Amino acid sequence: MDSETPRLDKTRLTVSSLDEFTEEKQYWLSRGKADRLNAIEINRRMVYGTDRTTSRLQRFLETVELIRS
């Protein structure tokens, strides 16, 4: 996948039913799983950016020694 993420035009919106069989749906059903996942990832990056998920998923582990008395 290329690092250049397309810009999202938020002024355009199309609403359709999931039951509706359109040319676009036919196109995506004809594509392979890898192509569909790649398109989902591009859409995710367009909406959320490239670094938002990594900044939220940071964790750190701290270990504490248990002192028995």
In this prediction, residue 35 carries a pLDDT of 95
In this prediction, residue 32 carries a pLDDT of 96
Q: What is the pLDDT of residues 9-50, one digit of tens each?
A: 778 877 778 787 788 888 999 999 999 999 998 888 887 777
Distance CA 23, CA 67 (A): 67
In this prediction, residue 31 carries a pLDDT of 96
- pLDDT of 57 > 70? The answer is no
Distance CA 31, CA 35 (A): 6
pTM score, whole prediction? 0.54
Nearest residue to 54 via CA among 45, 46, 63: 45
Structure tokens at 61: 């582990």
- pLDDT of 55 > 60? The answer is no
Q: What is the DSSP letter of 68?
A: P
